[in-house]
Amino acid sequence: MASSYISGRHLWGSRVRLTRGIRAVLFALESALGVLAVLLLASLTHWTGWLLPVAFLLYLMIVVPTALWCGFWQALIVSLSAVLVHGIVISRQPEMKLASDPVNSITFLAFVLVSLLVSRLSARVTENARQAEHRGEQMRDLYEFTRRTLQLNLHVEPGAQLADLIHDIFGLEAVAVFDADLHRVYQAGYWTQDPLELAQNVYYFETNDDDLESGLGRRVVRLGAAPVGSLVVRGETGPLTNNAIASLIAMTFDRYRAFANESRIETERRTEQLRATVLDSLAHAYKTPLTAIRAASTGLAEMGKLSPGQAELVGLIDEQTAVLNELTTRLLTTARLDGGEVKIKAQPVSVGTLLEEVLASLRDRLAAMKVALELADDEMIMSCERQLIVMLLTQYIDNACKYSIYGTTITVRAERGKAETILSVHSFGPVIPMADRERIFDRYYRSATLANRAPGTGIGLSVAKRVALLHGGYVWVTSDEQEGTTFYASIPDERQKGIGE
């Protein structure tokens, strides 16, 4: 792939960078050719004789092209030879003894002036053409570089690929690219000094210059205003080209980060989905054995004829089956909530009936507890998906049951905020340390403090958080010795778009 593009620079550059020896040979050759032409013309004028009066004009026809194509000094040699040869030819013509020194000198001077003029003009045109071609080349190289950076394989770090590309496409002697984010230097070509230090210095001291002496170009690679790396090149490039290359490197770095981020998120999403699927099928697979065990144990009890000890054990089996079933159900719930896209179907829900339903469903659990229900307004309506909010409150109340001090009251409260409904569950129990107050809503997080330990899986509160987020709301907790612990959930009236998705 790297060799598919052959830079024009290589062909063109070879003509520019001729060695001194070849240049001298070329100079001699051009001069010799000119002199040869002069001699031929002189022989012609001598032989014909009638061309002699216009001989100078004819010489001029040799001098001008020489000046045009070869240069001033070649033209000067040709002019000198023309004047000398003409002098000799004239002196051999007996009938024409007009030639005198002043005439020759003036002719020579005219030749020199014409040569100078023509060669200068020619040189300028040539230089302009050369620069235009050079710019064209650079544009083409930049275009190629842009195209190739867009095709870069972003699954791997882009630095090494970029250094190679720059080296190949712009025909440079050496290239070093520094990626500040990964803190790595990538090099291509031959460096006499340490490119690592060179590139890092450019980054840290923010040097942007083009040193004509050493042929070094230094650029800080910036994304917006922030430096993200650096570029050092040695070889023939223009300052503008270096700027463009630096910008392209910045864009490529940015694309790489975005790509890496995206694939990381995608991977996480897939893992999450897989986990949810596994949980779901596991939980379902548990249901059948659980059903068989419970039917068997309760069947034994129904059949009677059990001794008190047997009845006790059968009761234990049944009780523990219930615990296992509760865990399985909870896993299923979490898996459901996490697996893929949960769409909220918010409807106006009467808060009073909702709270009562939750309490009724937790009746067994709450049998030994004192529970108070505080409803700011009996007719209160909130906009939510009923089933999910039931889940959230169930988690909060369940949590309060686990941690509250025996004999204290658990208060379930619903209040109206400005454009939100605030549900809360208050209880007295161990204070939740400041450091834990955010994290207890994370999945599988369980307080390290032994005092805050209770049987559980560490899933419940994360479900509550997820439910609130799905509604565009949020959760928080306050906790201190005097006031007790309160878990809150704010559910906005109108679901804010884009939050929690």
Partner 1 sequence: MSQAAIRILIVDDELAIRRALRPPLLELGFQVAEASRGEEALQLLRAGGYDAVLLDINMPGIGGIETLRRIRSFAPRLPVLMLTVRDQEEDKVAALDLGADDYVTKPFSMRELIARIRTAVRRVRAPERAEDAPITIGEIHLDPVKRVVTKRSEPVHLTRKEFDILHCLMSRAGRVVTYAKLLTAVWGADCREEVEYLRTFVRQLRKKIEDDASAPIYLLTDVYVGYRFADAQSFQDEPTEALPGEIG
Binding status of residue 302 toward partner 1 by CB under 8 A? yes
Residue 372 pairs in a beta bridge with 411
- Whether residue 320 contacts residue 446, with contact meaning beta carbons closer than 8 Å, is answered with no
Q: Could you tell me which of 385, 402, 279, 366 has the C-alpha nearest to residue 330?
A: 279
d(CA 411, CA 395): 14
| One of 152, 160, 311, 469 touching partner 1 (CB under 8 A) | 311
Q: Map tokens 């009938």 to a residue.
A: 95
Spatial distance between the Cα atoms of 390 and 354, rounded to a whole number of angstroms: 7
Residue from the set 49, 53, 239, 299 that interacts with partner 1 by CB under 8 A: 299
Structure tokens that stand for 244 in this block: 């463009």
Residue 222 and residue 228 in contact, taking contact as beta carbons nearer than 8 Å: yes
Give the binding range for partner 1 (CB under 8 A) out of 149-157, 208-216, 280-288, 468-476.
Answer: 280-288
One residue of 29, 44, 292, 405 binding partner 1 per CB under 8 A:
292
Residue from 222, 336, 402, 439 binding partner 1 (CB under 8 A): 336
Interacting span for partner 1 (CB under 8 A) from 20-28, 47-55, 309-317, 421-429? 309-317
Tell me the pairing of strands 370-375 and 409-416: parallel
Q: Does 365 bind partner 1 (CB under 8 A)?
A: no
- State whether residue 228 is helix, strand or coil: strand
Q: Which of residues 370-389 bind partner 1 (CB under 8 A)?
A: 371, 373, 386-387
The residue (of 52 and 390) whose beta carbon lies closer to partner 1 is 390
Q: Which two tokens stand for residue 188?
A: 């291509």
Residue 490: left if φ>0, alpha if ψ -120 to 50, beta else—which one? beta
> Which amino acid, 384?
C
Pick the closer one to partner 1 by CB: 247 or 329.
Answer: 329
Residue 318 is a binding residue for partner 1 (CB under 8 A): yes
> Does residue number 144 form part of the binding site for partner 1 (CB under 8 A)?
no
Under the criterion CB under 8 A, does residue 208 sit at the interface with partner 1?
A: no
Q: Does residue number 308 form part of the binding site for partner 1 (CB under 8 A)?
A: yes
Q: Are the CB atoms for 101 and 54 separated by under 8 Å?
A: no
**Count, residues near partner 1 per rule CB under 8 A:** 49
Question: In the bound complex, what is the minimum distance in angstroms from residue 455's beta carbon to partner 1?
Answer: 20
372: Cβ–Cβ under 8 A, 6 or more apart, which residues? 409, 410, 411, 412
CB 228 within 8 A of CB 183: no
CA torsion sign for 144, 146, 149, 150 is: negative
Cβ proximity to partner 1, 220 vs 355, nearer residue: 355
Is residue 314 a contact residue for partner 1 (CB under 8 A)? yes
Structure tokens at 501: 């998705």
- Nearest CB to partner 1, comparing residues 76 and 467: 467
* Helix H or strand E encompassing 403: helix 386-403
Q: Is 414 helix (H, G, I), strand (E, B) or coil?
A: strand
Of 248-256, 268-276, 310-318, 487-495, which segment contacts partner 1 by CB under 8 A? 310-318
Q: Is 360 an interacting residue with respect to partner 1 (CB under 8 A)?
A: yes
Indicate which single residue of 241, 321, 427, 486 sits in contact with partner 1 (rule: CB under 8 A): 321
281 near partner 1, judged by CB under 8 A: no
Q: How far is the CB of 373 from partner 1 (least distance, A)?
A: 6
293 makes contact with partner 1 (CB under 8 A) = yes
Residue 423 interacts with partner 1 (CB under 8 A): yes or no: no
Under the rule (CB under 8 A), what is the footprint of partner 1?
A: 284, 287-304, 306, 308, 311, 314-315, 317-319, 321, 325, 329, 332, 336, 347-350, 352-353, 356-357, 359-361, 363, 371, 373, 386-387, 390
